[in-house]
Amino acid sequence: MVILITGASSGIGKETARLLSSKGHVVYGAARRIEKMDDLRTYDVKLLSMDLTDDESMTSAINEILRKENKLDVLINSAGYGSLGALEDVSISEARHQFQVNVFGMARLIQLVLPQMRKQHSGKIINISSSGGFFGEPHASWYHAIKYAVEGLSDSLRMEVKEFGIDVILIRPGSVISEWISVAIEHFKSVSKHSAYKDSITSHIKMLEKAKGIVGLQPIVVAKTIQRAIFSRKAKARYTIGKDAKALLILKRIIPDKIFDKIIISIINK
């Protein structure tokens, strides 16, 4: 199989590139900074420079893969970042940038690969969502809005491309141990220096720092789920991963919203 993975410079993307390449597949790893993927050369991963805010960069990368391989079987959209902060504190320009990277960039890449997948009458598009795609939390409005958008986009796309033999699959991990959270915390602190929500934000940051590097799934667990989804004859539309994600999903379905809100706030204020 020929597989393209975005966000291969760290976390889930990097671990998935390692795993799938070690199984003998032709894997292209893409990220803005190629030097952060240098260790993947050991696994024979082919490296591509790609910026999800730059159309020419994405077009060039897809053209290179098709020129060399003449097909593309799987696209794994793992690239993205989270930027925390109260809605009132985060600038609209920062919010737009988050959507550009996490939603519009992903959507544009899907547009670029679909003609080849339709020609093949086969393909899998795997979008990395999150448990944050089915509930909200304070100080993360934009992050959750993005994940809800990824969920809705994927649901609609799945029905559009079904007739062409293309699968669209959502991967919904709960907390994952990666550098993502460190970056998110630093931005959270930066935008919250003069926040009207200082007290609740202080508690939230303390909770995140306490959990950092300790609480959550190892990226390899998510990578193995992605592998299972790719090679399943009857892949699910969604794979929810992690005890925290599964518990929250059950609660969200069975209890009133305002009680669910209280539970989320109590977790943050621990």
Tens-level pLDDT at each residue, the chain (270 residues): 999 999 999 999 999 999 999 999 999 999 999 999 999 999 999 999 999 999 999 999 999 999 999 999 999 999 988 789 999 999 999 999 999 999 999 999 999 999 999 999 999 999 999 999 999 999 999 999 999 999 999 999 999 999 999 999 999 999 888 777 778 888 899 999 999 999 999 999 998 888 776 667 899 999 999 999 999 989 999 999 999 899 999 999 999 999 999 999 998 887
Phi/psi for 252 (5° steps) reads: -60, -35
Is 81 a residue of the active site? no
The rounded distance, in Å, linking the Cα atoms of 222 and 27 is 17
Marked catalytic residue, from 28, 43, 81, 143 = 143
The rounded distance, in Å, linking the Cα atoms of 112 and 120 is 14
Question: Within 13 Å and on the Cβ side, how many CA atoms surround 168?
Answer: 21
Tokens of 250: 């059950």
Domain boundaries, the chain: 2-268
Q: CA 58, 63, 69, 74: dihedral to nearest 10 degrees?
A: 40
The CATH number of 2-268, from 3.40.50.880, 3.40.630.30, 3.40.50.720, 3.30.9.10, is 3.40.50.720
The rounded distance, in Å, linking the Cα atoms of 18 and 248 is 30
Contact in structure between 48 and 30 (CB atoms under 8 Å): yes
The rounded distance, in Å, linking the Cα atoms of 134 and 248 is 9
